[in-house]
A and B are shown apart, each in its own frame.
Chain A
Amino acid sequence: MCRERISRSRSGTVETVAFTSLRLKRRFDTEAWIEFGRGPLFRLCFALLVLGLIRILALTWAGIFDVYRHSPDKILPWKEITKKTLAWLIPVRKLWTARPVYSAISFLFHLGLILTPLFLASHNLLWQKGVGFSLPSLPQRVANILTLLVVGAALSIFFGRVLYPAARAISRAQDYLWPLLLAVPFATGYVASNPVISPRTYELMMLLHVYAGDLILVMIPFTKLAHCVLAPLSQLVTHLAWKFPAGAGDRVAETLGYAAMPTWLPQARLRARPEAPNPEQGQVIQK
């Protein structure tokens, strides 16, 4: 403090700024930490992401094969599974079914979440610099819009969870956390790449951006975010689970009073709930 005052009195503010930044640099070298975050730490997280996803996918397949091998009832409605899987993967029709607003927001959220990090021009520059090849780049304006959409959608999803009692009832702590955490690199990245907003915070924003991004990458294969590779298997796993042990699904349906409706019937027909359970009818359909 003492030296600061002296330098100010001697030659104005310029030296003071230089002096303070020098002192800050000694305390916490933001540049170096950012470099670490997108150098070795990024490689660690990215390798964990890729290998971890391959691992979880392989383990899931291995589990599926185990269950299928040990199940005495090997008849699965493959056509139905394929149709449902594709319907969920390409959510054009699913978008306007039960909760159109939520579905639309979720769709936009996913769109930005996948497209922006992969096709952002600045990220592609990093790829080019690091490994020598890169993906095609999004125009900056499109990337900006997508980023804002992701942040907005994340906030909407978060408040949707908080405000709706039905959603709150089935939410865990991590379910509240995820949309917020996912929005962090997008919000900080937006601020950092648009210095008009706040030119002074560039380093801080970049630091948060890089480390939040790394954290998310490393969390993907070990948390529910792994649905990015496991989602296509969910229909298969669900149907398989009804078969193990054999006839389990029918017994559950019987207990619930749905004996007439075999478990693999399409959703639309299940919704037409029969007035009274009729076990005979169920057997007829099964034949």
Chain B
Amino acid sequence: MDRVRRLKLLLWMPVGLGFAVTVDRFFFGLGAATHLSDATPWGLWIGFDVMSGVALAAGGFVLTATVYIFRLERFHSIVRPAVLTAFLGYVAVVAGLLFDLGLPWHIWHLIIYWNPHSPLFEVGWCVMLYLTVLTLEFFPVPAEDVSSLARVRRFLVKMRIPLVILGIALSTLHQSSLGSLFLIMPYRLYPLWYSPILPVLFFISAIALGLMMAIFESHFTAYFYRRKPETAVLASLASAARWVLILYLVVRFSDLAARGQLHDLVGSAWQVKMFWFEIVVAGLLPVVLFSISKFNRRPGWQWGTAAVGVGGIVLDRVNVGGLIDLSRGAALYLPSWQEIVTSLAIVAGAVLVFLFIIEHFRVWEERPVDPKADPKRLPELNPVGETWLGAPVIAARIKYSLAFVLAAALAFSFLANPKVEATGIVPVPAHRARGDVGKLPGISSRVSFNSSLTPSPSPASGRGGTAKRWVRAKRQKATAIPAGVLYLDGDLTGWGVTFYHQREVERNGGEKSCAICHHMNMPHDQNSGCYECHRDMYQPTDAFRHNWHASRSGANLACIQCHEAGYPRTSAQVKPCTDCHKDMIPPGATIQVSSENLVDASGEIRRLITPGSVVKINTYTAVSYVDAMHELCVGCHAQVAEREKKPEVAQCAECHKGKLNYSDTVNLLYQRTAVAGRRVVMPPPPASPGGAAMKP
């Protein structure tokens, strides 16, 4: 038992590390714990935990078939450990899957919401059903010790043959459907691995793996519990595994030949080397070593060969699962240490449960007994060597829990420190529409040029005097966006809508038409752009600009000019806007919409508000820029579409034509970069001190 105790101490450490990572993963999400991304959504957890876990569990159905269907009774002694291995393998698969699923609490969805076209649907159902079958197959073992479960046990033993058959059927489906998952991606998987018969290859290799896993597991426990290994029984398993492996190699190479991929076997790509390494480790080496009877009679060689073979086929699963595509995607994926630790922890946890069950239930003919655990035995006090921590059970729990705690704390210290608090919605300030409304018919006296586009004297736009530069920039812009046309991309990303302002003015009746779109209820409202109140692209904003009123460059008001002195300066103790802005419609007022501004020359109503209706101005909270634009444009467009029987007028693509790269003034280029952080071809930054004026 000394070996087992040391092994358990060792295994508790990855479990402790895994505990910390588990907390990290389930509190802070996949992004905090993994290097997975949208480009590489499947990583180590799928390749190793799920695909290899399922493959490692293949021993269960292979050995139940051997013993209960083919009646080869000499393998009876290893069937229970094999079923236990399969059971724990599947539990580990489910655990690994829960880590990998983005929303693990939705795992029950596939029971209710069926998608029978998906291989994942098949995989999910097979895991569920086969885990149930394995539970029922293994349940008689722990039930032996509980007399009240005798009837259940008797029933399950009677049901054994149907259960075994069901298990074989499900395993066949499941082992191969893991291969089917990859049939969907012929261009992603390297041609040496991709094959239309991938499901068949997976199934054959799973049988070989199951046999070798049974050998490995038997030797493993024999070593750690100091039992006599069942070399003779295992040798016949090994020779069976050899034949399956030969079949696997033949099928694999014939498939390559049939698909005309043999030329790929030679090459300098690392995938080719990996392929040969995999073939040697997973196929040739075990076949050769299992064939030489001198080696096959020796427990050490048997164990080593089985370990090599198991490792090789696991490598095959990991390769297919993503390792081989490392450099083929856009992003390089290397598993994070948390992913590796979690995989180790799941394996370690499964082994610990395995050892626990072996020690507490009759998996073998007789349970392994710790000679030190004899209750009548006096404690060995060795004052020189070690501290006596108590009886073996007590000493074990002291040591193992310490290993767990130390490892978990170590992992916690390595975990990065992600913030759980959200940064909130990122404000995206809306900017003035680009372009120039030009000279508008009939309203030339009131509307001036779009002032933000008046380029600031910028040294970057060329040599020459200030006036010359101004003219050059102006000319440049004028050729870029025609006069009378606005380009509406409030966030200045270039994704916007071309708005023919002048055409709309002409269509809707000159000066009178302003109020169709513009509110005209801002103080001194003449040409206020939408962005002045709808100041954020996606969030509502207050039309009242407090800081502007208080600023010296704005209204230059002292606090007490609005807030009453001696009271807290809140929005409650403030004098109404209309005290100063006599022409403003106060919030809370109702207005009757006159028909004058809303009806165009042909008598059609342009706004969604019916003329003559009473509208209440609730607040001066402006909806987001995007909402305002959509409401304004789509409202009219929908009416036009209906009236003119042209449905396309109201469709998105009518206005959203993609990204337009209008040449901007330097000033706007700077703004754009500052706003969106996008890659904009920038002119070199100004060297002269005048450049400071250009920063947004």
- The interface of chain A, by Cβ under 8 A from chain B, is 39-41, 43-48, 51-52, 55, 58-59, 62-63, 66, 129-133
Contacts and interface: CB of A to CB of B under 8 A. Distances in A.
A63 B394 contact: yes
A55 B402 CA distance: 8
B415 to A, nearest CB: 7
Given A52-B405, A55-B405, A59-B398, A47 B413 contact: yes
Nearest to A63: B394
Interface stretch (B361-369, B416-424, B515-523): B416-424
B409 A47 contact: yes
A61 to B, nearest CB: 11
Contacts of A44: 409-410, 412-413
Contacts of A66: 394
Contacts of B420: 131-133
B421 A132 contact: yes
- The prevalent SS among residues of B at the interface is helix
6 contacts: A43-B413, A51-B408, A59-B401, A62-B397, A129-B419, A132-B419
A40 B414 contact: yes
B18 to A, nearest CB: 13
B394 A55 contact: no
A232 B230 CA distance: 53
A214 B486 CA distance: 62
B406 interface: yes
A7 B405 CA distance: 55
B271 to A, nearest CB: 38
Contacts, number: 46
Contacts of A40: 413-414
B497 interface: no
A241 to B, nearest CB: 15
A52 B407 CA distance: 11
Interface residues of B, number: 20
Interface of B: 20, 394, 397-398, 401-402, 404-406, 408-410, 412-415, 417, 419-421
Contacts of A48: 405-406, 409
B409 A51 contact: yes
Contact of A47 (B20, B397, B398, B402): B20
Contacts of A43: 412-413, 415, 417
Contacts of B397: 59, 62
A57 B409 CA distance: 17
Counting chain A CB atoms within 10 Å of each CB, the highest count among B398, B405, B417 belongs to B405
A68 to B, nearest CB: 14
A124 B414 CA distance: 22
Contacts of B398: 59
Given A43-B417, A44-B413, 8 more contacts: A43-B415, A44-B409, A44-B412, A51-B404, A51-B408, A59-B398, A66-B394, A133-B420
A59 B400 CA distance: 11
A41 B417 contact: no
Counting chain B CB atoms within 10 Å of each CB, the highest count among A39, A43, A44, A130 belongs to A43
Contacts of B419: 129, 132
Nearest to B422: A132
A241 B374 CA distance: 23
A45 B420 CA distance: 21
- The prevalent SS among residues of A at the interface is helix
A30 B414 CA distance: 21
Contacts of B409: 44-45, 47-48, 51-52
Contacts of B421: 132
Nearest to A42: B413
Nearest to A70: B375
A218 to B, nearest CB: 9
Contacts of A47: 20, 408-409, 412-413
Given A132-B419, A132-B421, A41 B401 contact: no
B389 to A, nearest CB: 11
B552 to A, nearest CB: 34
A52 B415 CA distance: 18
Contacts of B417: 39, 43, 130
A125 to B, nearest CB: 13
Contacts of B410: 44
B630 to A, nearest CB: 35
Contacts of A45: 409
Contacts of A39: 417
Contacts of B415: 43
Nearest to B417: A130
A46 B408 CA distance: 11
Given A130-B417, A131-B420, A132-B420, A55 B412 contact: no
Contacts of B408: 47, 51
Nearest to B420: A132
A128 to B, nearest CB: 8
A159 to B, nearest CB: 34
A130 B419 CA distance: 6
A268 B406 CA distance: 45
Contacts of A59: 397-398, 401
A132 B401 CA distance: 30
A246 to B, nearest CB: 17
The 6 lowest CB-CB distance pairs between A and B, nearest first, are A44-B413, A47-B412, A47-B409, A132-B420, A132-B421, A48-B409
Contacts of A46: 412
Nearest to A53: B405
A62 B401 CA distance: 12
A130 B401 CA distance: 28
A237 B420 CA distance: 42
A51 B20 CA distance: 11
A194 to B, nearest CB: 28
Nearest to A218: B409
Contacts of A62: 397
A24 to B, nearest CB: 28
A129 B404 CA distance: 28
B605 to A, nearest CB: 52
A92 to B, nearest CB: 35
A55 B404 CA distance: 10
Nearest to A62: B397
A130 B27 CA distance: 14
A39 B420 CA distance: 16
A63 B414 CA distance: 33
B175 to A, nearest CB: 39
Given A47-B20, A51-B408, A58 B401 contact: yes
Counting chain A CB atoms within 10 Å of each CB, the highest count among B398, B409, B420 belongs to B409
Nearest to B375: A70
Contacts of B402: 55
Counting chain A CB atoms within 10 Å of each CB, the highest count among B398, B412, B415, B420 belongs to B412
Contacts of B406: 48
A55 B403 CA distance: 11
Contacts of A63: 394
A269 to B, nearest CB: 35
Contacts of B414: 40
A149 to B, nearest CB: 31
A133 B417 CA distance: 14
Nearest to A44: B413
Nearest to A222: B402
Contacts of A51: 404-405, 408-409
Contact of B401 (A55, A129, A131, A133): A55
Counting chain A CB atoms within 10 Å of each CB, the highest count among B394, B401, B404 belongs to B401
A44 B415 CA distance: 10
A221 B535 CA distance: 56
Contacts of B20: 47
